[in-house]
């Protein structure tokens, strides 16, 4: 079989390496614009070899966006996200979200492009909204505590914060430039202390 032939000399894939290549392709061409046929060509294995690892393209998408979402929700479970003053918990969530974004850059990039065309995408959007709500609740609580300014609507604050954080996918590249920790510091300092020196 020709397809088996092209496989010779190529490394085998486990689910992890297969997923990494699929996500790269989805990010380059769009999820809708990428067929399992193209993925199999890119991998140099047959479609049935892909189906040995994963039952469908949707399942690849689900695994990928859950990788991003599980990372963000794990942040909300950390002790420093759950204990202490709301402002400090919020700042911790912001800093750690930057870290998750950098660690899982291709997965978060894919998540942020999801538009809700399929059941998997709608489930991902629902989990994103749940995360946003957790952040908005922290903003509200911090404002109620008197630790966070009250002249911006909490939902707008939350959107601007995550707008800034998520924009990092547009330009951040892990090699060269700012380290993940310095990036988390920059986001947190800009957002909580502001740029202006009084």
Residues 81 to 120 in contact with a second copy, rule: CB under 8 A: 87
Residues 158 to 187 in contact with a second copy, rule: CB under 8 A: 159-164, 166-168, 170-171, 178, 183, 185-187
Q: Of 146, 173, 175, 176, which lies in the binding site for a second copy, with binding defined by CB under 8 A?
A: 146
CB of 49 to a second copy, least distance (A): 30
Binding span for a second copy by CB under 8 A among 5-13, 46-54, 61-69, 144-152: 144-152
Q: Of 3, 73, 137, 192, which lies in the binding site for a second copy, with binding defined by CB under 8 A?
A: 192
Q: Of 75, 100, 157, 184, which lies in the binding site for a second copy, with binding defined by CB under 8 A?
A: 157
Please answer whether residues 103 and 71 qualify as being in contact, where contact means their C-beta atoms are separated by less than 8 angstroms.
Answer: yes
Residues 29 to 88 in contact with a second copy, rule: CB under 8 A: 87
- Listed in sequence order, the residues at least 6 apart from 99 whose beta carbon sits closer than 8 Å to its beta carbon are 180, 184
Binding span for a second copy by CB under 8 A among 11-19, 41-49, 100-108, 155-163: 155-163
- Largest Cα–Cα separation, the chain: 72
Q: Of 11, 151, 173, 176, which lies in the binding site for a second copy, with binding defined by CB under 8 A?
A: 151
**196 makes contact with a second copy (CB under 8 A):** yes
Cα(78)–Cα(36) distance, rounded to whole angstroms?
37
CB atoms under 10 Å from CB of 79, counted, come to 9
**131 makes contact with a second copy (CB under 8 A):** no
Please answer whether residues 90 and 135 qualify as being in contact, where contact means their C-beta atoms are separated by less than 8 angstroms.
Answer: yes
Cα(74)–Cα(16) distance, rounded to whole angstroms?
20
Task: Retrieve residue 168's tokens.
Answer: 């990092």
CB of 194 to a second copy, least distance (A): 3
Residue whose CB is less far from a second copy, 57 or 128: 128
Phi/psi zone of residue 116: left (φ > 0), alpha (ψ -120 to 50 degrees), beta?
Answer: left
Give the angle 158-159-164 at the CA atoms, nearest 5°: 100
Cα(74)–Cα(117) distance, rounded to whole angstroms?
26
Positions touching a second copy (CB under 8 A) are: 87, 142, 146-149, 151-153, 156-157, 159-164, 166-168, 170-171, 178, 183, 185-187, 189-197
């Amino acid at each position: 079989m020709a397809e088996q032939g092209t496989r010779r000399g190529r490394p085998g894939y486990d689910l992890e390496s297969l997923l990494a290549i699929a996500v790269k392709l989805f990010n380059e061409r769009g999820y809708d614009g990428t067929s399992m046929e193209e993925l199999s060509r890119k991998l140099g294995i047959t479609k049935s070899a892909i189906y040995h690892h994963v039952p469908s393209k949707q399942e690849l998408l689900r695994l990928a966006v859950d990788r991003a979402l599980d990372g963000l929700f794990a942040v909300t479970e950390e002790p420093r996200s759950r204990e202490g003053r709301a402002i400090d918990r919020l700042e911790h969530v912001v800093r750690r979200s930057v870290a998750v974004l950098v660690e899982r850059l291709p997965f978060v990039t894919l998540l942020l492009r999801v538009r809700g065309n399929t059941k998997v995408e709608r489930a991902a959007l629902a989990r994103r909204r749940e995360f946003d709500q957790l952040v908005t609740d922290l903003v509200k609580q911090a404002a109620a505590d008197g630790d966070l300014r009250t002249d911006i609507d909490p939902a707008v604050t939350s959107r601007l914060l995550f707008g800034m954080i998520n924009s990092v996918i547009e330009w951040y590249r892990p090699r060269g430039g700012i380290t993940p920790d310095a990036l988390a510091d920059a986001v947190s300092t800009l957002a909580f202390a502001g740029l202006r020196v009084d």
